[in-house]
């Protein structure tokens, strides 16, 4: 084993491995929440400073979204027509969000966006409980990708919750929506991260980063399997619950400041 690996205190790293694993299982299966779960647990449970938590999560997402996308492609969860219509506007939105981040206080709008997503989560729960879900072809795609990419870069998250939930509301099938959104996320994450890596370089990689990276990469292949095998109503219900709970928590945290 290389000397630098022997020098690491793995008892300190393992809790972060567990956090990264749990966050990636949820994100890979439901198309959202890797950043939300990681950031929440790192800050509130592990006591990591918010700035360090954000840097770690953004650095790791470049790798985990690539691994998750490969898993979804292997399990045929990607709608390539939908992918092409999402990824270019998403990348443009991510670039705009990263550019404007220093001039626009995205945190002001965050509680309103979270309230909107909480309502969507409740609606998805209603649809899942109501009964049979009839698939439909979504109509609004490119503007959704643009807004989702912008919010993700400027607001520190939002691609999965905004894009996945809105495509589901429009009638897209959960399996292919989740697979496509996860696969497209790699490209906009890489775009939004370029400035971050130029500014901070390898200093962003701490023990926190190493732990959630290991956990995320180990869990990434599981997302494609779960999205393929869990029934449509089950996926819809899980997305609804997750979206409602994480949005409610974000609203509480924003208002409690």
pLDDT tens-digit series, residues 173-230: 888 888 899 899 889 878 877 766 666 566 656 777 888 889 988 888 887 777 777 7
- What digits encode the pLDDT tens for the residues 132-164? 556 677 888 999 999 888 877 765 566 877 888
* 3 located within any domain: no
Is 61 within the bounds of a domain?
Answer: yes
Q: Is residue 96 situated within a structural domain?
A: yes
Contact 179, 83 (CB under 8 A): no
Does residue 1 register a pLDDT over 50? no
DSSP state of 100: H
CA angle 46, 215, 162 (to 5 degrees): 80
Domain residue limits at 154: 10-256
Task: Output the average pLDDT for the chain.
Answer: 77
Number of domains in the chain: 1
Does 214 reside within a domain?
yes
Residue 252 in any domain: the answer is yes
The label of the residue with tokens 């749990």 reads 22
Contacting residues for 34 by C-beta, under 8 A, at least 6 apart: 23, 24, 26, 27, 57, 61, 64, 160, 216
- Does residue 242 belong to any structural domain of this protein? yes
Distances (CA, A) of 251 to 113, 126, 164, 239: 9, 21, 20, 18
* 128 within a domain of the structure (yes/no): yes
Q: Mention every residue, 6+ apart, whose C-beta is less than 8 A from residue 7.
A: none
Q: To the nearest whole percent, how much of the chain has pLDDT over 90?
A: 9
Does residue 173 contact residue 45 with C-beta atoms inside 8 Å?
A: no
Q: What is the pLDDT of residue 83?
A: 94
First to last CA, the chain: 46
Q: Is residue 4 part of a domain?
A: no
């Amino acid at each position: 084993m290389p000397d630098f690996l022997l020098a690491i205190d793995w008892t300190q790293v393992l809790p972060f491995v567990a956090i990264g694993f749990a966050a990636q299982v949820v994100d890979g299966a439901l198309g959202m929440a890797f950043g939300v779960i990681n950031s929440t647990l790192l800050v509130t449970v592990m006591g990591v400073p918010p700035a360090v938590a954000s840097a770690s999560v953004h650095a790791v997402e470049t790798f985990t979204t690539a691994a998750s996308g490969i898993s979804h492609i292997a399990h045929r969860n990607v709608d390539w027509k939908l992918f092409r219509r999402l990824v270019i506007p998403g990348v443009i939105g991510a670039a705009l969000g990263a550019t404007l981040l220093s001039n626009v206080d995205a945190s002001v709008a965050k509680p309103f966006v979270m309230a909107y997503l909480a309502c969507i989560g409740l609606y998805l729960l209603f649809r899942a409980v109501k009964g049979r879900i009839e698939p439909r072809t979504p109509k609004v795609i490119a503007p959704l990708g643009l807004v989702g990419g912008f919010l993700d870069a400027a607001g520190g998250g939002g691609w999965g919750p905004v894009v996945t939930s809105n495509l589901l509301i429009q009638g897209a099938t959960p399996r292919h929506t989740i697979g496509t959104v996860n696969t497209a996320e790699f490209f906009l994450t890489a775009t939004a991260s370029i400035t971050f890596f130029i500014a901070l370089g390898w200093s962003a990689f701490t023990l926190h980063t190493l732990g959630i990276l290991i956990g995320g990469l180990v869990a990434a292949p599981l997302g494609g399997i779960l999205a393929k095998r869990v029934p449509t109503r089950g996926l819809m219900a899980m997305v609804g619950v997750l979206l409602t709970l994480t949005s409610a928590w974000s609203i509480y945290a924003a208002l409690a400041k």
